[in-house]
Structure 1
Amino acid sequence: MAAGTTHHTIVSTQSHRWNCKNSRLDETTTKVGLVSIRSCSSGNRKLGLVCASGSKSSIIDPVQLPSSGNGESSLILIRHGESMWNEKNLFTGCVDVPLTPTGVEEAIEAGKRICNIPIDVIFTSAMIRAQMTAMLAMMQHRRKKVPIITHKESEQAHSWSQIYSEHTRKQSVPVITAWQLNERMYGELQGLNKQETAERFGKEQVHEWRRSYDMPPPNGESLAMCADRAVTYFKDQVRICLQ
């Protein structure tokens, strides 16, 4: 986009939410809920961060960012709604599981909370639960723009998915999917019941697999490995849009 244009980005993530109080990402099973706003300055640019929160708050009306002129960017982080394996308390990781009816309602509610914020591009993981959340949220947006998944996995896929109407293009929002934004790969824990796994291996061992930064679950990813791919993608792709 041209310099000085107001630019907003929405990111639908897999298994993390922003902890506004401590300014960090927490791995959590908290469902999509209300949204809150943080902002910070970088030189002459301002960045507003709109993050999903699982706790109830006093926010009733849809969120609307204050206008501060040209050069303002907003980053929206939304955790996916409840998946069918969240409901069963199973380790999901990179298994592609859809939302439950409750998860659909949560995604719709999240969309209502951001319906007044202009959105230009959506980044989401390759998982269907994240993509469903993004699509359902966008269906609530007051501008009624159509989210369209971009296909660049091959030259033919890119060519066949082109839009040739400029008017239609302006009424669309590109959705960019990336495996780098997937939830961490839980290895041999994927598909296991979390409670039964704790009883089998011990709560301390399972806690260490889930919460330690450097220790991966058996044949899985550590948080450090997951952060390496996700943060690298954020810096190379998402940050470019924000700038």
Structure 2
Amino acid sequence: AFISNNLLTFPRSRPFPLSIAWPAASFIFAVNFSGAVGKMAKYTIVMVRHGESEWNQKNLFCGWYDANLSQKGEEEAAAAGVALKNANFKFDIAHTSVLTRAQKTLAAALKGIGQEDIPIEKTWRLNERHYGGLTGLNKAETAAKYGEDQVQIWRRSFDVPPPAMEKDHAYYDNIVNDPRYAQAPPKDQFPMFESLKLTIERTLPYWNDVIIPQLKEGKKILIAAHGNSLRGIVKHLDNMSEEAIMGLNLPTGIPFVYELDENFKPVVSMKFLGDEETVKKAMEAVAAQGKAK
């Protein structure tokens, strides 16, 4: 281990090195995958997964279904705003998906820092991964039926997609004919399922074509999105292996920070604005969703 930028950082050979920031009073917990040494940060970007949704609470595969925030999720979103305020963050622009749970999380976070009026860009490219035929199913019941290993593959593997959403699926019309998708994606490209690989393929163009140019302009950016769209960005930034990304569970409602060098490579990766124990428990709760009860 070595110390860099006040972080205790471990070599990249470990799949999930954890590092704890000092001083303890800062209440910042960091997971540093890239371990960039001797680089100066030029850009800072903050991301947050939406607060717990009503379908998270029920342990259902959600994907593109437009579930609202649960009461706990609303509290998490408000807490995200407090964390950003305590860390003295201010933003020029924010980005989110077209789904309510991410938009409400963003709104609460911006309210917490008194920046409700900044520009907000909404895109389907930041949507959650499309869970196809699994949409609406209980994760624990599905694990009991198909086995925890299979559900873990569907939830966290890189390139194995879930079963497709067929036209007779209970939520097919609800999702496919939603007015928010009237313009995009094109109907002939509308996903009926997505692996993480496919999610990354539609998320990264937005990162490269929209986010990166705005960072180059000097804009301070907040992204409020979803577990898998954000996992895709994290995998890209930290050049994580397919094996490593399977084990990454992003907690709901806890903002995390990336500091990037002039080449948009991480100097500091995934610095959570939360204490270590809270972040750890939140990650474990997400991981446990795919287990049979």
TM range, smaller chain: 0.5 to 0.7
Deviation, 1:184, is: 0.3
Higher relative contact order (CA 8 A, sep 6+): 2
Q: Give the direction of change, closer, same or farther, for the CA distance of 1:124–1:35 in structure 2 (3 Å limit).
A: farther
Q: Which residue does 1:225 correspond to in 2?
A: 198
Deviation, 1:124, is: 0.4
Q: Give the direction of change, closer, same or farther, for the CA distance of 1:111–1:92 in structure 2 (3 Å limit).
A: same
Deviation, 1:204, is: 2.1
C-alpha distance in structure 2 between counterparts of 1:98 and 1:233, whole Å: 24
Within 5 A, what are the aligned runs for 1:151-230? 172-219=117-164, 220-230=193-203
Q: Which residue does 1:128 correspond to in 2?
A: 100
C-alpha distance in structure 1 between counterparts of 2:147 and 2:52, whole Å: 26
Amino acid at match of 1:242: L
Asked if the contact 1:40/1:46 (under 8 Å) is kept, the reply is no
Q: Which residue does 1:167 correspond to in 2?
A: none
Aligned residue pairs total 163
What TM-score, normalized by structure 2, do the two folds share? Answer: 0.51
Q: Which residue does 1:66 correspond to in 2?
A: none
Deviation, 1:232, is: 1.7
Aligned-residue RMSD, C-alpha: 2.8
Unmatched runs of 5 consecutive residues or more in structure 1: 1-18, 24-33, 48-72, 147-171
Amino acid at match of 2:196: L
Q: Which residue does 2:213 correspond to in 1?
A: 240
Within 5 A, what are the aligned runs for 1:21-170? 21=17, 36=29, 46-47=41-42, 73-115=43-85, 116-141=88-113, 144-146=114-116
Q: Give the direction of change, closer, same or farther, for the CA distance of 1:87–1:118 in structure 2 (3 Å limit).
A: same
Superposition misfits of 4+ residues, deviation over 3 angstroms: 19-23, 34-41
Query: For 1:174-211, what per-residue CA distance to the aligned partner results, in whole angstroms no more than 9, with x for missing partners?
Result: 11001000010000000000011111222222222122
C-alpha distance in structure 2 between counterparts of 1:20 and 1:233, whole Å: 27
C-alpha distance in structure 2 between counterparts of 1:45 and 1:240, whole Å: 19
Q: Which one has a larger percent strand, Structure 1 or Structure 2?
A: 1
3-state SS of paired residue (1:46): coil
Q: Give the direction of change, closer, same or farther, for the CA distance of 1:20–1:208 in structure 2 (3 Å limit).
A: closer
Q: Which one has a larger percent helix, Structure 1 or Structure 2?
A: 2
3-state SS of paired residue (1:111): helix
Deviation, 1:118, is: 1.6
Identity of aligned residues (%): 40
C-alpha distance in structure 2 between counterparts of 1:231 and 1:22, whole Å: 26
